Amino acid sequence: MYKVLVTDNVNDEGLTKLYEHEHFTVDKNTELPPKEIKEIIHQYDALIVRNQTKVTKEIIEHAANLKVIARAGVGVDNIDVDAATQKGIIVVNSPGGNTISATEHTLAMMLSLSRNIPQAHQSTTNGLWERDKFKGVELYQKTLGVIGMGKIGTEVAKRAQAFKMTILGYDPYLTEERASKLGIKKATLNEIAAASDFITVHTPLIKDTKHLINEAFLAKTKKGVRLVNCARGGLIDEHALLAALHSGHVAGAALDVFENEPKITEGLLKQANVIVTPHLGASTQEAQIRVAIDVSEEIINIFESQSIRNAINMPQTSGEVQGRMEPYLMLGEQVAQIGIQLLNDAPEKIDITYAGELIEEDTSLLTRTIIKGILTYHLGESVNLVNAIHLLKEQGLTYNIQKNAKNKGFSNYLELTLHKHSKEIKVGAAIINGFGARIVKLNEYRIDVRPEQHLLYIKHQDIPGMIGQVGSILGKNDTNIGTMQVGRKEIGGEAIMVLTLDKKIEQNVADNIKSLIGMKDIQTLELTTGYNFQDSPFIEV
């Protein structure tokens, strides 16, 4: 049974699937102060919030059993994502649930701004009839600058075209090809500032976008420009905007979000050419139901089927992709375990190569699985798929991913290389049709070993009788050999043996083998024999 805590006013209709699910209990309390959340959060497996609750590092540090933090909406700036990642907690949101709602609110604000609708309404209800005072401007054939061409920005651009507006779009990931398909022009921020009659912002609030619309940007804009922000407070420097409104350079602004909600920068509300709403972009009945449904389904999928769709801090992986990649996830973990045990030290550098069919797949989850397998050897169960990359960077390690179209002699192939000073360990593996997972390379030696729980790796001089002597020692100590693979470069030179055993050998048995003439190295290797999301520390079933 999983326990879910809801601390904000999330739509109950949208939470129905969680309420009715036999494996979940839901506690909803929207009046909890931060201190009480901190005191009880250790009891819960999942937390659902909107934008009221601030999920701080302090709260996360007390979340001993928390696996998922779900934001019923888009922005996650009220959640300390870094702290959650370090703790191994998945952070998910509902990126598409309020797209239409926010899009329509943006257009409503733009129309209200252009025609002075709120001001005219207030004047008329006060008994006045001031037709000349509220003369507006048309959207028709005006230029609209859209900063941020994600889901909402894209939908705004599509609808603005119905007004015959010229659309300039800016986004770091916007290509000329996509802009052409949308019927807009790709532009720089400076080009948008210089040419736009209306500017609307639709970016997340991150370090690089805070005060994106600032004094310097506003100085580059056309006199008479109108600004709309229904995205995140802090994208517009409110003091710079106020100064530009006072000077008359900016003709008006429509704001749904503010830097320090619910507090609004003093002076903005006194501006006759500013219209404001209290963060209503996602506040439609339909949007609130959709985002609640989204996070409910996401939580159920994570715990019940281990399918992760809208994670902020790890690869977004559907059940379908996970199904295709599952054999490789198990193999990747085993390759990592072999590599790190043979290195027997913390690596300085990690190289991962994918070849054959794997170059066509999304291997981000596989990469995390391999890194998790490497780090767990020294860091233990604190490592999981969520925090593996973070912990790797924390250790000062670098990793490199290469995708090679050459198939390396196999239809699929993955290779891990661990570096430590002059020492290098290389492990290659493949899934062979009809035979399953195989370790096919150890350093420079070609082998064919099925990865099993107990392996014995031996490096020795290639002399007659070595295989027999090893088998004799194991037999005398009641250890059965499943398979044996040998590899050598030349007759009489250095060679290796890799044996699968029915059980782990005792140290005295290993010492007896190591004492044989011509023996160079012997290592017992212990592998996990299955991989599933359920085995990950953030999912306990």
What is residue 536's predicted lDDT score, i.e. its pLDDT?
A: 43
The answer to whether residue 261 is catalytic is yes
Q: What does pLDDT average to over the chain?
A: 90
Question: Which amino acid is it at 101?
Answer: S
CA–CA–CA angle 468, 470, 473 (5° rounding): 105
> Which tens digits make up the pLDDT trace of 318-353?
566 667 788 899 999 999 999 999 998 889 899 999
Tokens read off for 364? 């981000």
The answer to whether residue 446 is catalytic is no
Strands (E), 349-393: 349-356
Instruction: Identify the band that residue 540 occupies on the pLDDT scale cut at 50, 70 and 90.
Output: very low
CA distance 30 to 300: 22
Q: Which residues pair with 412 in a beta bridge?
A: 356
Q: Which residues pair with 4 in a beta bridge?
A: 26, 46
> Which tens digits make up the pLDDT trace of 45-58?
999 999 899 999 99
Helix (H) or strand (E) holding 123: helix 117-125
> Which tens digits make up the pLDDT trace of 155-196?
999 999 999 999 999 987 688 888 999 999 999 999 999 999
Helix (H) or strand (E) holding 250: strand 250-255
Tokens read off for 87? 């703790």
Helix (H) or strand (E) holding 9: none
Can you tell me which residue has the tokens 């779009």?
Answer: 169
Q: Which residues pair with 452 in a beta bridge?
A: none
What is residue 541's predicted lDDT score, i.e. its pLDDT?
A: 24
Q: Which residues pair with 519 in a beta bridge?
A: 460
- pLDDT (average), residues 2-26: 96
Q: Which of 159, 279, 390, 450 is catalytic?
A: 279
> Which tens digits make up the pLDDT trace of 527-536?
987 544 444 4
> Which tens digits make up the pLDDT trace of 360-407?
888 888 999 999 999 888 777 667 777 788 778 867 788 999 998 776
213: DSSP letter: B
Residue 289, SS3 per DSSP:
helix
Is residue 73 left, alpha or beta, with left meaning phi > 0 and alpha meaning psi from -120 to 50? left
What is residue 534's predicted lDDT score, i.e. its pLDDT?
A: 40
What is residue 532's predicted lDDT score, i.e. its pLDDT?
A: 45
CA distance 482 to 455: 10
Q: Is 0.85 surpassed by the pTM of this model?
A: no
> Which tens digits make up the pLDDT trace of 273-319?
999 999 999 899 999 999 999 999 999 999 987 777 778 787 665 56
The answer to whether residue 42 is catalytic is no
Dihedral over Cα of 255, 261, 265, 269: its sign: positive
With a pLDDT cut of 70, the percent of the chain lying above it is 95
| pLDDT surpasses 50 at 428 | yes
User: How far are the Cα atoms of 73, 286, 336, 357, 507 from residue 452, in angstroms, in the given order?
Assistant: 45, 52, 14, 24, 20
Q: Which of 232, 290, 438, 454 is catalytic?
A: 232
Tokens read off for 271? 């501006």
541: DSSP letter: -
CA distance 301 to 155: 28
Residue 12, SS3 per DSSP:
coil
CA distance 30 to 48: 11
Q: Which of 261, 266, 286, 526 is catalytic?
A: 261
